[in-house]
Amino acid sequence: MDMNSKKWWQNSVVYQIYPRSFQDSNGDGIGDIQGIIKRLDYLQELGIDAIWLSPVCRSPQDDNGYDISDYQDIDPMFGNLDDLEQLISEAKKRNIRIIMDLVLNHSSDEHRWFTEAKKSKDNPYHDYYVWRDGEEGVYPNDMGSAFGGPAWEWVPELKQYYFHQFSVKQPDLNWENPKVRREIYDMILWWMDKGVGGFRLDVIDQIAKEPDLKITNNGPRLHEFIQELSRETFQKGDLITVGEAWGADIDRAKLYSKPDGSEFSMVFQFEHMMLDQEPGKEKWDFCPLPFVKLKKCLEKWQKELHGCGWNSLFWDNHDLPRIVSRWGNDREYRVEAAKMLATVLHGMEGTPYVYQGEELGMTNVRFDSIEQYQDIEIRNMYRERLEKGYAEKDIMESIYAKGRDNARTPMQWDDTENAGFTTGTPWLGVNPNYTEINARSQLQDENSVFHYYKKLIHLRKENSIFVDGDFTLLLPEDENIFAYVREYEGRKLLVAANFTDKEVECPLLKEWGVPADEDGAAKSRDNGVKLLIHNYNDLPSQQKLRPYEAMIWEKAETGTEI
Ligand code: GLC
Ligand code: CA
């Protein structure tokens, strides 16, 4: 293997599991840790190096586990600590590390710290949270929570409000209090002792909030807090750490992912994922993807972090709709589009993330009624917008396009009842297309999206240029083609993709000496080019790319063996 000098997590591919939707093992309709253990062989086959586990800690599940009531225990719904330790060791046997999701901006209101804090103003835990004196009905200010309604909740016994950037059941922790920070560090060290491979830091850019100044993310003490956190915990191990930061710009990203490890391994930022939202409006107000902007945005991140930071590469996660439905095609070209999107993403510099089901080309879902949706964000938005007079039909369209439950329908394992996810009633409906889109059939079909992801993952491992190479965007103004070159020490890769469902002109292939005819394979060697991966089975033409066609070519300097 052509290993380079980079850190292990730079050569890695991370797979995200949303545990409640992955695999149920006991028929209660909810995925669990034993279910994950059963599917480790599948993940090993795919070739991933680490699993980011969305939260499995004890929680009242108001926001599906992003509201933790005990950071050092597992929610019985998912299993117990022994199950988790078994998962860590079973994964380790397969060279897979487990990344835990750390939700440190807020806890659950059922966490002992909060139930204590609520007892009185002089309770030792009171100052673990963010309080303001006030009068009932007169909010400290007009800040709103991310899930709708005000960011302040009245506690009559104390005649105080507490601050919550998310739901009422997710009170914000007070990072200004050194005791809070110490408790958090001790908890993290405890997890490190258990042998976890790393951490994903939930909405970490929001911990240094300053509600009086109406500051939520990027507060003045943010990087001071993160550097202390990193010094006291992560730097004592060889971990992968990834900071979720919706509000990161390039300069902050460089701090988060500084190569000296003073903060995290990498940043997980969303600039490219917010481009199909109407400027200044909410995510529900969507617009067509400005494709040229997408390319320029990704180019900026590629260039600016090269050599001085590290990015996560992703299209999907548990908060985002399915990429093949969103920016690809989930009908006649679903397979081609899913592979194309993967090619473009995995060809770049950074650590790729695969969200469960993405490797099958799983799609968005359209449930008939709001009752079939479970997500707190969807339900609150539906109620609010109805009250504001939006038409029900339009609200449902927003949910179909952007709702988080699109990504949370159960994993589609096979074509048996409930897609092989559970023998009981699934907590959220299975997407009816599971009879067609499922892991079992894709494992048997070498042309499947699954096998394409597997190939891409291996390709990346065998070619360090994917990690080291610099990035040049080609045809920047082209409305259809996404193409770029990666270059490292005389080696060059061309990634070329058609982002549309039409056949489009592509001048690049001829320039690159890509062969024109059927015996091209032989000729291509003479031209010094080699096809590394392609989502069509026959050779491309020199002039045109077919719908969603994508490929990666390698070219070596003349005289170099490839
Ligand atoms: C992050 C999580 C999301 C959660 C929120 C509050 O954005 O990814 O699922 O609702 O933080 O914890
Ligand atoms: Ca279960």
Query: What is the number of other CB atoms lying within 10 angstroms of the CB of residue 5?
Result: 8
Question: Measuring from each residue's beta carbon to the nearest atom of ligand 1, which residues come in under 6 Å?
Answer: 63, 66, 103, 166, 202-203, 318-319
C-alpha angle with apex 124: 121 to 128, nearest 5 degrees? 85
DSSP string, 322-361: -HHHHTS-SSTTHHHHHHHHHHHHHTSSSEEEEETTGGGT
Least Cα distance to 117 among 103, 135, 129, 102 occurs for: 129
Q: Which tokens go with 476?
A: 């920047």
- What distance in Å separates the CA atoms of residue 493 and residue 370, rounded to the nearest whole number? 47
d(CA 513, ligand 1 centre) in Å: 47
d(CA 72, ligand 2 centre) in Å: 20
Q: Which residue has the higher pLDDT, 527 or 373?
A: 373
Please say if the pLDDT value at position 320 is more than 50: yes
DSSP one-letter code for 404: G
Please say if the pLDDT value at position 514 is more than 90: no
Residues paired with 553 in a beta bridge: 494, 531
The pLDDT value given to residue 295: 98
Q: Which tokens go with 79?
A: 């299993």
Q: Are the beta carbons of 410 and 365 closer than 8 angstroms?
A: no
Least confident window among 94-98, 180-184, 343-347, 505-509: 505-509
The pLDDT value given to residue 2: 44
- Residue 377 CA: which ligand 1 atom is closest? 10
The pLDDT value given to residue 525: 56
Task: Provide mean pLDDT across the span 234-247.
Answer: 97
Please say if the pLDDT value at position 15 is more than 70: yes
Please say if the pLDDT value at position 516 is more than 80: no
- What distance in Å separates the CA atoms of residue 361 and residue 103, rounded to the nearest whole number? 29
- What distance in Å separates the CA atoms of residue 296 and residue 473, rounded to the nearest whole number? 8
- Residue 404 CA: which ligand 1 atom is closest? 9
Among 59, 63, 67, the mutation site with the greatest number of ligand 1 atoms within 8 A of its Cβ is 63
pLDDT tens-digit series, residues 373-423:
999 999 999 999 999 999 999 999 999 999 999 999 999 999 999 999 999
Task: Provide mean pLDDT across the span 291-302.
Answer: 98
- Residue 67 CA: which ligand 1 atom is closest? 12
Task: Provide mean pLDDT across the span 192-208.
Answer: 98
pLDDT band at 560 (very low <50, low <70, confident <90, very high): low
d(CA 401, ligand 2 centre) in Å: 29
Q: Which residue has the higher pLDDT, 67 or 560?
A: 67
d(CA 151, ligand 2 centre) in Å: 33
- What distance in Å separates the CA atoms of residue 3 and residue 465, rounded to the nearest whole number? 10
Least Cα distance to 247 among 287, 276, 225, 215 occurs for: 215
Please say if the pLDDT value at position 319 is more than 80: yes
Helix, strand or coil for residue 25?
coil
Task: Provide mean pLDDT across the span 283-301.
Answer: 98
The pLDDT value given to residue 193: 98
In terms of phi and psi (left: phi > 0; alpha: psi -120 to 50; beta: otherwise), the region of 53 is: beta
Question: In this structure, which ligand is nearest to the CA of 376?
Answer: 1
- What distance in Å separates the CA atoms of residue 218 and residue 216, rounded to the nearest whole number? 7
The pLDDT value given to residue 6: 85
Least Cα distance to 116 among 179, 38, 26, 194 occurs for: 179
The pLDDT value given to residue 195: 98
d(CA 419, ligand 2 centre) in Å: 15
Among 202, 206, 320, the mutation site with the greatest number of ligand 1 atoms within 8 A of its Cβ is 202
DSSP string, 227-280: HHHHHHTGGGS--EEEEE-TT--HHHHHHHT-TT-SS-SEEE--GGGGTTB-TT
CA distances from 455 to 240, 449, 465, 482 (A): 24, 10, 16, 20
- What distance in Å separates the CA atoms of residue 252 and residue 261, rounded to the nearest whole number? 14
| CA-nearest residue, atom 2 of ligand 1 | 202
Q: Which tokens go with 404?
A: 């988080």
Residue type, 396: M
Q: Are the beta carbons of 34 and 336 closer than 8 angstroms?
A: no
Backbone angles phi, psi at 492, to 5 degrees: -140, 140
Among 207, 244, 319, the mutation site with the greatest number of ligand 1 atoms within 8 A of its Cβ is 319
Residue type, 408: R
Catalytic residues: 202, 244
The pLDDT value given to residue 518: 52
pLDDT tens-digit series, residues 90-134:
999 999 999 999 999 999 999 999 999 999 999 999 999 999 999
Within 8 A by CB and 6+ apart from 440, the residues are 413, 414, 415, 420
Please say if the pLDDT value at position 524 is more than 80: no
pLDDT band at 513 (very low <50, low <70, confident <90, very high): confident
Least Cα distance to 103 among 148, 55, 151 occurs for: 55
Q: Which residue has the higher pLDDT, 187 or 561?
A: 187
Task: Provide mean pLDDT across the span 247-269.
Answer: 97
Least Cα distance to 479 among 237, 294, 205 occurs for: 294
The pLDDT value given to residue 522: 46
Please list, residue by residue across 395-420, b when 16 or more beta carbons sit within 10 angstroms of its beta carbon and e when fewer do. bbebbebbbbbbbbbbbbbbeeebbb
Task: Provide mean pLDDT across the span 12-17.
Answer: 98
- Residue 106 CA: which ligand 1 atom is closest? 12
Question: In this structure, which ligand is nearest to the CA of 103?
Answer: 1
Instruction: List CB-based neighbours of ion ligand 2 within 5 Å.
Output: 24, 26, 28, 30, 32
The pLDDT value given to residue 203: 98
Question: In this structure, which ligand is nearest to the CA of 243?
Answer: 1
Mean pLDDT for the chain overall: 95
Question: In this structure, which ligand is nearest to the CA of 377?
Answer: 1
| CA-nearest residue, atom 6 of ligand 1 | 66
Within 8 A by CB and 6+ apart from 408, the residues are 18, 20, 21, 64, 318, 374, 375, 428
Alpha helices in 354-477 (DSSP H): 376-387, 392-402, 439-444, 449-462, 465-468
Sheet with 198-201: list strands edge to edge.
Answer: 266-268, 240-244, 198-201, 97-102, 50-53, 14-17, 351-355, 312-313
The pLDDT value given to residue 168: 98
| CA-nearest residue, atom 4 of ligand 1 | 66
d(CA 142, ligand 1 centre) in Å: 22
- What distance in Å separates the CA atoms of residue 421 and residue 418, rounded to the nearest whole number? 6
Q: Which residue has the higher pLDDT, 510 or 5?
A: 510
Residues paired with 484 in a beta bridge: 473, 495
- Residue 317 CA: which ligand 1 atom is closest? 8
Residues paired with 57 in a beta bridge: 74
pLDDT tens-digit series, residues 333-362:
999 999 999 999 999 999 999 999 999 999
The pLDDT value given to residue 510: 87
